[in-house]
């Protein structure tokens, strides 16, 4: 009896499976819709995930680009710049997503950007779901978001009293028989029938601008940038130093840029063209600067600031007496600085940026021809100063041509070195270096 029932049930099941009546088709249709939606959702969300990864890369790039392209960290300007960047990339990404919102937050010492958008769906439109929301977050940290102490170091050697322009040099050569506006003359000098206490006094009366004047203009540009980047004057300190026989601290780091400006224009500070030092001894001066700068921190607090040394110099290790006395006995000592001396600062984790105010050729000046115009082979750069010539550089290379090589080695990285010859290049060069340093950010999220 049980065997007959089993056989009967089996036959009925086969019959049901062969049934093509409308009820079964309806059930299958009902089941198929959610299955189709499930498959569609899987495909659409997988696509949204991939688009989100692309959006993350776009936001990372946009945030870094925005920081590097504008001179302030104002949230509104950053949001505008990031949005512009996304719009510029729209054609490249084939509209795989639509950007709906950009927000920038500067709380703490990290700049965080949030981007939101939507990805159009495909099969999910069957359930009237036309888009999938996506969102990404990117954050950067670096000097632009940190506490920073900036040490502005200005070369005060007599060579910085060179006229800043070709016209100025020609005027000094023609009227004073020297392109330099030197202070240390034993007797009054006569220029065009008129007596002056020094060549500097004549240059000032004639309105000739000197490289040391332009150097102060360059510092002023940096101060303008600091006012913009840190308008509350609570994050970036600036100190002023003169470099000569040793380091002269004119002003220890302060948040008050107005105080810095006053020192720059005050002749008694020792930074203006009204005075100069007899020599430039980088070995002694940079060692002394190390103790002034101290060890750099991580930038997370005022007590642990990052530290940047902005060095504005012509890069020549020299003493005026080496040129004008001894009948050539000391001429070999006038050389480029030894970049190893910059390690005094780097070993304490300070960043070193160098603006080279190019030592222009002065072929009519005997002192130039006997020193900087002469070759590295004829110098005491190795025997006296311990320098090591770059491999592949000939000893017949002039000392003048080797200065930028030595100064680039002094800088913490190649992008923190600029060579400037004209008045405009010098004025803009220091702020360019500061911008380069300030925007050396890293992604943290």
Q: Give the domain range for residue 355.
A: 148-162+210-443
Quick check: 30 pLDDT over 80? Answer: no
pTM metric for this prediction? 0.76
Summarize pLDDT for 291-344 with one digit per residue, the tens: 999 999 988 899 999 999 999 999 999 887 888 776 788 999 999 999 999 999
* Domain contains 191: no
d(CA 227, CA 208): 30
Percentage of residues of the chain with pLDDT beyond 70: 85
Q: Give residue 3's pLDDT band: very low, low, confident or very high (50, 70, 90).
A: very low
Q: Give residue 383's pLDDT band: very low, low, confident or very high (50, 70, 90).
A: very high
Q: Find the helix packing angle between 211-229 and 423-438, rounded to 10°.
A: 30
* Domain identity same for 256 and 153: yes
In this prediction, residue 15 carries a pLDDT of 60
Quick check: 202 pLDDT over 80? Answer: yes
- The number of C-alpha atoms within 13 Å of 329 and in the hemisphere containing its C-beta is 5
- Highest average pLDDT, of 125-139, 155-169, 224-238, comes from 224-238
* Domain identity same for 51 and 109: yes
Closest alpha carbon to 81 in 60, 95, 63, 93: 63
Residue that terminates a domain, selected from 141, 175, 192: 141
Say which residues have a Cβ less than 8 Å from residue 187's Cβ, sequence separation at least 6. none
CB 273 within 8 A of CB 168: no
Quick check: 9 pLDDT over 70? Answer: no
In this prediction, residue 21 carries a pLDDT of 55
* Domain identity same for 297 and 421: yes
Q: What is the CATH number of the domain that holds 243?
A: 3.40.50.410
Residue entry with tokens 């890293």: 442
In this prediction, residue 40 carries a pLDDT of 60
Quick check: 440 pLDDT over 90? Answer: no
In this prediction, residue 2 carries a pLDDT of 43
Quick check: 4 pLDDT over 60? Answer: no
Average pLDDT of span 263-281? 90
Quick check: 17 pLDDT over 70? Answer: no
Average pLDDT of span 38-45? 69
* Domain contains 1: no
Q: Give residue 42's pLDDT band: very low, low, confident or very high (50, 70, 90).
A: confident
Average pLDDT of span 249-274? 94
User: What Å distances lie between residue 394 and 307, 334, 390, CA to CA?
Assistant: 36, 18, 9
**376 vs 119, residue with greater confidence:** 376
* Domain identity same for 70 and 128: yes
Give the tokens for residue 17.
Answer: 């499976």
Provide the phi-psi class of 383: left if phi over 0, else alpha when psi is between -120 and 50, else beta: alpha
* Domain identity same for 136 and 153: no
Say which residues have a Cβ less than 8 Å from residue 373's Cβ, sequence separation at least 6. 361, 362, 363, 398, 399, 400
Q: Give residue 436's pLDDT band: very low, low, confident or very high (50, 70, 90).
A: confident
In this prediction, residue 18 carries a pLDDT of 59
* Domain contains 417: yes
* Domain identity same for 305 and 396: yes
Closest alpha carbon to 372 in 421, 325, 333, 329: 333
* Domain contains 403: yes
Residue that terminates a domain, selected from 80, 107, 141: 141
Give the tokens for residue 188.
Answer: 């009054």
Quick check: 441 pLDDT over 80? Answer: no
Strands 111-120 and 98-105: antiparallel
CB 359 within 8 A of CB 373: no
In this prediction, residue 1 carries a pLDDT of 44
* Domain identity same for 90 and 239: no
Total number of domains in the chain = 2
* Domain identity same for 251 and 229: yes
* Domain identity same for 297 and 379: yes
R_g (Cα) of the chain, nearest Å = 34
d(CA 303, CA 294): 12
* Domain identity same for 82 and 158: no
Summarize pLDDT for 419-429 with one digit per residue, the tens: 998 889 999 99
Residue that terminates a domain, selected from 141, 176, 196: 141
d(CA 145, CA 230): 10
**Average pLDDT of the residues of the chain:** 84
* Domain contains 201: no
In this prediction, residue 220 carries a pLDDT of 94
**132 vs 255, residue with greater confidence:** 255
* Domain contains 113: yes
In this prediction, residue 39 carries a pLDDT of 64
* Domain contains 415: yes
CB 87 within 8 A of CB 102: no
Summarize pLDDT for 73-93 with one digit per residue, the tens: 677 888 888 888 777 766 565
* Domain identity same for 313 and 356: yes
d(CA 362, CA 368): 6
* Domain identity same for 412 and 271: yes
Q: In 3-state terms, what secondary structure has residue 332?
A: helix
CB 103 within 8 A of CB 80: no
* Domain contains 194: no
């Amino acid at each position: 009896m049980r065997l007959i029932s089993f056989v009967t049930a089996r036959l009925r099941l086969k019959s049901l499976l062969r049934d093509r009546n409308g009820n079964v088709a309806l059930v299958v249709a009902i089941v198929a819709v959610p299955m189709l939606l499930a498959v569609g959702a899987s495909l659409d969300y997988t696509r949204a995930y991939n688009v989100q990864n692309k959006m993350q890369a776009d936001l990372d790039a946009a945030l870094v680009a925005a920081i590097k392209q504008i001179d302030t960290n104002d949230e509104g300007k950053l949001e505008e710049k990031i949005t512009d960047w996304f719009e510029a990339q729209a054609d490249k990404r084939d509209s795989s997503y639509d950007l709906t919102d950009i927000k920038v937050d500067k709380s703490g010492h990290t700049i965080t950007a949030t981007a939101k958008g939507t990805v159009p769906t495909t099969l999910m439109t069957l359930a009237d779901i036309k888009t999938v929301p996506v969102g990404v977050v990117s954050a950067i940290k670096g000097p632009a978001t940190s506490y920073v102490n900036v040490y502005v170091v200005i070369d005060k050697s007599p060579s910085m009293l060179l006229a800043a322009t070709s016209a100025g040099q020609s005027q000094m050569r023609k009227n004073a028989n020297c392109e330099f506006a030197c202070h240390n003359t034993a007797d009054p000098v006569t220029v065009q029938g008129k007596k002056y206490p020094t060549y500097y006094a004549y240059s000032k009366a004639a309105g000739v601008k000197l490289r040391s004047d332009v150097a102060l203009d360059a510092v002023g540009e940096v101060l303008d940038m600091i006012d913009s980047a840190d308008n509350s004057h609570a994050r970036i300190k600036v100190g002023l130093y003169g470099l000569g026989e040793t380091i002269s601290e004119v002003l220890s780091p302060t948040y008050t840029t107005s105080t810095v400006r006053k020192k720059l224009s005050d002749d008694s500070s020792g930074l203006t063209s009204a005075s100069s030092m007899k020599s430039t001894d980088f070995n002694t001066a940079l060692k002394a600067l190390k103790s002034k700068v101290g060890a750099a921190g991580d930038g997370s607090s005022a007590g642990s600031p990052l530290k940047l040394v902005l060095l504005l110099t012509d890069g020549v290790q020299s003493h005026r007496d080496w040129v004008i006395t001894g009948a050539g006995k000391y001429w070999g000592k006038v050389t480029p600085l030894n970049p190893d001396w910059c390690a005094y600062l780097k070993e304490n984790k300070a960043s070193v940026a160098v603006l080279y105010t190019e030592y222009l050729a002065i072929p009519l000046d005997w002192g130039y021809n006997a020193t900087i115009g002469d070759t590295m082979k004829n110098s005491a750069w190795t025997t006296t100063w311990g320098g090591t010539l770059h491999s592949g550089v000939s000893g017949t290379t002039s000392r003048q041509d080797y200065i930028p090589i030595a100064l680039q080695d002094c800088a913490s990285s190649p992008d923190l070195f600029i060579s400037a010859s004209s008045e405009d290049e010098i004025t803009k060069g220091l702020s360019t270096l500061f911008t380069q340093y300030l925007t050396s950010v890293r992604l943290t999220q």
